[in-house]
Each structure stands twice: as C-alpha cells, then as structure tokens.
Amino acid sequence: MPRKIMVKSANSDPNMLVESLAHLEVHLQEIVRDNPELLPVEEFGMDGPMMVIGREAPVSSGSIDLLGLSRGGDILVVEFKTGPQNPDFRHAMSQLIDYGSHIWGTTYEDFEAAAVKFFGSSENTSPVTKGKHSLAEAAHAFWAGLPVEEIEAIEDKVRAAISSGALNYVLAAQNITENMARTVEFLNHSMRAGRFFGVELVKFEGDGVVAFETRTIARPSKGPTEPHTTVTNEEKFLRQVGDPDLSNAYERMLAESKVLGLKIQWGSVGASIRAVHPESGSLVTLAWVFPPDTNGWMGFTDLTVGYDPVRVEAASGRSFDTALVDFIEDVGQLPNTTPESRGGMTAYRVERDAIPGHLAVILRGLRGVTARDG
C-alpha cells in the first residue's frame, strides 16, 4: 500500500501526496546532488550537510553515482536504485564495494584532483564550490566559518580513509526491504573498516506537487569507524627534508616555537605552528611546514607563513593582531616569497632555498607575535 503525506500551507487547502515510483535513477542522483542536505548524514553519526565532490565519478569498472564528504572528513560512496528487486540490490551492493576498491590505496593528490575536476565541470551545480581548486578551498567555502584546524583535520582523515579503506557506502533506494537491511547488517558486522547504510529515498506526488523524503533504515550498530591516521613527527619530518641547511633551519624554527609556547600540530605529512589568541583563547595558525616535493594542506608546499583573517578578527586582541600583521608583511617584503590567498588566507610561501637565509626574520616575527603587553 503506497504511503501518503499531507502538505498544508496557511493559505491553501490540504494537498495529499501519494508515494510514486521514481522511474529513473539519474533523477534521484540529481535531486541529492542539488540538495545534498537531503541525505541524512547526521543519522550516520556524521556532521553535515554533505558536500558533493563527484557525480558519475569515473573508475576503471564504471562510475560512482555520487561521491560526498562530511564536515568531519568522512567519504561517502552513494549508489541509487529505484526499486527493491533482489538482483538490482545485489548488483548495487557489489558495485559499491567495487568502487571502494578503486578509491582504496589511491593517493590524496589523485583523489583531490578528481574532486577539483568535478568542481569545475557542468555536473557541479553548487555555486559555493564551483571552480574551487582544492578540497580545502571547497570545504572553507561550503562549510562557512569552518576553522582552519578543522579543515586540516579533514585532509588528514581523508588521507587515512583512502589508505585504510574506511569508506562509507550508502545505498539509496525507493524501498529497503527486510532482506536488504539484513544484508547491510551482515556487511557492517563482518567488514573491518567500511560502513554500510541503507537509505529510503521516497518520491511523493499529488496535484502538481512533488516531494522527496529520506530515512535511514539500515546502519551500523557500532559507532563511527575511526581509521588509523598515520601522523608524522619532527624526527621523520627532518629526515624527509634531507638537505642539511634546510633541515637545520626547520629544526631551529621548531625549537624556538616550543620555547615561545607555540603549539606544533603534526599531521600526516607536515605540521602547523599555532599561537593562542589572547582574547578568544582559540588557536591561530601562523605557519605550515612540509617536506620538499610534498603538497600539504590547501596545496601549500615547503614553508608558508600567514593567518586566516576571519579567525583573527573574531576576537580583538590588538597587540597580538598588530604583531601578526607586521610579521606577515615583513616576510612578504623578503625576496623569493610568493603571496598565497587560497582559502582566504593572508600568507606568503617562502621558496625552499630561501628559508635558511630568511630564518632570522621569521624567528623575530614569531617572538613579536607571542610577546605580551605588561
């Protein structure tokens, strides 16, 4: 028996909408692509809304209906089916696993490049992510107000997920039967890293009105899988740097940062150096360091000094803000530095060979930022 919902506005009579069959899977894809908040990722234990990073994303065995990312960095592989028929269901589940096998073990750079290609394509209908050049830049725009530290954490989680295979597989169908739900339950019980979800995406029609409802029918009983994140450290980082002069400069910079009470947050490939804002108590990133020939957060390389003006202006610590601006301006006036504005940053990249020669100016600036008025 078809389900029904009643729609009533203040100035109209009730309109009874009746469940109807969505005949084409492509229409379901388009509905969720254009309205990603329709997918109930909060019911999955994730922070939403989902940001779409691919549609009909090509892999060697086919194309992924929708590829998404949660605010916490969870990768969602979504497959759509219009009916509950067992052959279709089994095929859809095998497709999901097959697609996951192609994502697993790829590099972050390849994964990001595919997303960037989607951002610039006609398949992307989001004006917020249109034309963005990195996942970090898209995340900064899509989840407005997301702190830099959370954006960096997203990258680390994505790197860990594609390395470990801790992906989230979502089957969206008109009807999730009891047998389908049991299969999803079995996969969640037996799989080491991946998580599976069965979501009903139901179409309702009546008197020229079309509505869609989503509900999570099958999901893991356990909490969210936390993939093992490989975090580097100072010893590994300096070993990767290789060049003695550059390694010595980084070592001195990190040592001085510790003396000044700055926080060094190591990620999967490099580190961010952060100060505590005297007014808000929040952490403000001052610099990012990465080994040679490695793309880090936001695509930054080597040494980048700068800050997020939105985050700094959220609190008014005048002496801190002035010293920070002076520090970045002083670095920007040095030779062999390049302005960086990705993600709304006010920053400069220091060319690799110039880092040892510019170290004195950088250390002086860090001391200025951490000084406190008596």
Hunting for tokens 């920053």 — which residue is that? 347
360 & 256 share domain:
yes
Q: For strands 168-173 and 195-206, give the pairing.
A: parallel
Q: Among the three residues 155, 183, 218, which one is the final residue of a domain in this structure?
A: 218
Residue predicted with more confidence, 149 or 112? 112
Q: pLDDT tens digits, residue range 172-215?
A: 888 888 888 888 889 888 887 889 999 988 888 887 788 888 88
Q: Are residues 63 and 153 in contact, defined by beta-carbon separation less than 8 angstroms? A: no
Query: Does residue 225 belong to any structural domain of this protein?
Result: no
Domain count, the chain: 2
Distance CA 366, CA 210 (A): 58
Question: Residue 373: what pLDDT?
Answer: 41
Look-up of token digits 């009533």: 8
Which of 162, 192, 218 is a domain's end point? 218
Give a yes or no: residue 226 inside a domain: no
State how far Cα 177 lies from the chain centre: 32
Which position has the higher pLDDT, 16 or 86? 16
Tell me: do 66 and 117 sit in the same domain. yes
Q: Say which amino acid occupies 41.
A: V
Asked which of 218, 253, 283 is the last residue of a domain, the reply is 218
- What is the pLDDT at residue 349? 94
Q: What is the mean pLDDT of residues 28-51?
A: 90
> Do 64 and 87 form a contact (C-beta atoms < 8 A)?
no
* Domain-embedded: residue 179: yes
124 and 161 housed in the same domain:
yes
- The per-residue pLDDT for range 90-122, each reduced to its tens digit, is 788 888 889 999 998 788 888 999 999 999 999
Summary mean pLDDT of the chain: 85
Which range of residues forms the domain containing residue 76? 4-218
Show Cβ contacts of residue 182 under 8 Å, excluding neighbours closer than 6 positions.
none
Determine, yes or no, domain membership for 228. no
d(CA 20, CA 3): 9
The answer to whether residue 272 scores a pLDDT higher than 50 is yes
- Residue 29: pLDDT band by 50, 70, 90 thresholds? confident
Q: Residue 5 contacts by C-beta under 8 Å, 6 or more apart in sequence?
A: 16, 17, 204, 211, 213
CB count within 10 Å of CB 261 equals: 9
Q: Tokens for 293, please give them.
A: 């020939």
**186, part of any domain:** yes
Q: Which of 76-90, 113-127, 222-236, 302-316 has the highest mean pLDDT?
A: 113-127
Q: How is residue 97 written in tokens?
A: 């696993």
Window from 119-128, 139-148, 279-288 with minimum mean pLDDT: 279-288
d(CA 37, CA 32): 8
Give the span between the Cα atoms of 50 and 68, in whole angstroms. Answer: 6
Nearest 5 degrees, angle CA 210-CA 216-CA 217? 110
One domain, residues 360 and 247: yes
| Cβ contacts of 107 within 8 Å, gap of 6 or more | 162
Q: Do 213 and 248 have their domain in common?
A: no
Is 227 inside any structural domain? no
Note whether 200 and 252 are same-domain residues.
Answer: no
CB contact at 8 A, 136 and 151:
yes
**Residue 148: which pLDDT band, with cuts at 50, 70 and 90?**
confident
Residue closest to 357 by CA, chosen among 246, 273, 217: 246
CATH number for position 8: 3.40.1350.10
Q: What is the pTM of this model?
A: 0.69
- In 277-323, DSSP assigns E strands to 283-289, 303-307
For residue 370, the SS3 value is: helix
Separation between Cα atoms, residue 43 and residue 270, nearest integer Å: 33
Kindly state whether residue 263 falls inside one of the protein's structural domains.
yes
Indicate if 258 and 173 belong to the same structural domain: no
Q: Which residue carries 């939403």 as its tokens?
A: 48
The strand pair at 195-206 and 346-350 is best described as: unpaired
Residue 78: name the closest of 211, 172, 7 by CA: 172
Q: How far apart are CA 141 and CA 128, in angstroms?
A: 6
Eight-state DSSP code of residue 351? P
What percent of the chain is modeled with pLDDT above 70?
A: 90
Regarding whether 238 and 147 lie in a shared domain, the answer is: no
Q: Are residues 331 and 248 in the same domain?
A: yes
Q: Do residues 39 and 136 both lie within one domain?
A: yes
Answer yes or no: do 76 and 182 share one domain. yes
In a domain, 302, yes or no: yes
Are 94 and 188 contained in the same domain?
yes
